Every structure is written in structure tokens, then in C-alpha cells.
Amino acid sequence: MDKAPQLSAPISAWHAEHVCFKQLLYLVQREVDVFHNGERPNYELIYDVVAYLRHYGDLYHHPREDAAFACLARRCPDMQLALARLEQEHRVIAQAGAELQRLIEAILGGAIVPRTQLELAAAMYLVYYGNHIAKEEEDVLTRAALHLTGEDWQVVKQAAPGGPDALLRSVPVKQFEQLFAH
């Protein structure tokens, strides 16, 4: 009977992380637009955003989502295929992020990277990540709120324990202080 209040905190946290991630992706898109217009983008900012999303998103957020997807697939078999696709997208996002980060590192190190190569890597990362978040917000969070139990949320929490989010806490992790200030 008191199920809804117990489940609102994990859903709220999940949504808050998505809001944060969308804001970060917007910063990258803004810098890619600068690049597309022939100007020099803030490569350091792009690098920091991608590093943060790879650090927190790939190491903590996505493993927790994968655990939630597994629990939800057991409770809502009609969602199994859609959840499997979202889990697969986590791997694509991680790979696309690694490639974009590698290119930005090369540029910051003085390498000349073809414009189309950087734009393609950034577009792949931004489109996959943005669509992925939208799909979870539209299709998964509401169903998770309705069907996942307190035990399920414990499984989710244990999937990636620790890992305080640098941007959602008042004291940023040293590596992300400049990003947090931005």
C-alpha cells in the first residue's frame, strides 16, 4: 500500500541523472555547432563532459539501469525486447564516447583530425545518448515506478555501489571541478 512513496526516490534520482546528462549533452552539441561553423570549440569542455559521462554514466548509471531492466523484464515480459535494446545501447554509447574522447585527446595533443571524423563521432554520441535517454523517460521510468519492488531497487543499488555523482552533489570530484563550475 505504501509502495509509491518508497519507489519515488529511485525514480526521481534516475530522472534527475537524465536531466543532468541532457544538459551535458547540450553543452557538447553547442560546441559541435561552434566547430561546424568553422570556429574553435572549447575542446577541453567537450573532453570534460565526455569523460564525466563515461566515468559516471558508464560505470554507475548504466549498470544500475541494466539491473533495473533485468528486474523490469521479469515483471513485464512485454518489455523484454525494448529493454534488451536499451541495454545494447549502453554498449554503443560507451564505444561512441570512447571514440569521441580519443579524438578530442588527439586534438588537444596537437593532432590534426579531419572535420568530418570529429563531427561524425560527436553526432553518433549525441544522437544515441539523447534518443536513449528519451526512450527511457518515455517508456521505462513509469513502468519501473509501477512494477519494481523495494527488493528490486536493492538489486539496482547493489549493481554499482558507491560512485557519488560529481555534478549532483554539492562538493564536486576534483577531476570535474571545471565542468561543475561551467
Please state which of the ranges 46-50, 54-58, 83-87, 118-122 shows the lowest mean pLDDT. Answer: 54-58
Q: Which three cell numbers stand for residue 181?
A: 563550475
Does the pLDDT of residue 176 top 70, yes or no? no
What is the structure's pLDDT at 171? Answer: 47
Domain hosting 63: range is 3-181
What is the structure's pLDDT at 111? Answer: 97
* 77-114: pLDDT as tens digits: 999 999 999 999 999 999 999 999 999 999 999 999 99
Does the pLDDT of residue 158 top 60, yes or no? yes
What pTM value is reported for the model? 0.86
Higher pLDDT, 6 or 159: 159
- What is the rounded radius of gyration, in angstroms, for the C-alpha atoms of the chain? 17
- SS3 per-residue string spanning 57-100: HHHHHHHHHHHHHHHHHHHCHHHHHHHHHHHHHHHHHHHHHHHH
Higher pLDDT, 57 or 156: 156
- Count of the separate structural domains present in the chain: 1
Q: Please state the rounded mean pLDDT for residues 123-140.
A: 97
CATH of the domain at 135: 1.20.120.520
Q: How many CB atoms sit inside 10 A of residue 39's CB? A: 9
Q: Check: CB of residue 32 under 8 Å from CB of residue 122.
A: yes
Does the pLDDT of residue 168 top 60, yes or no? no
Estimate the crossing angle of helix 62-75 against helix 150-159, to 10 degrees.
Answer: 150
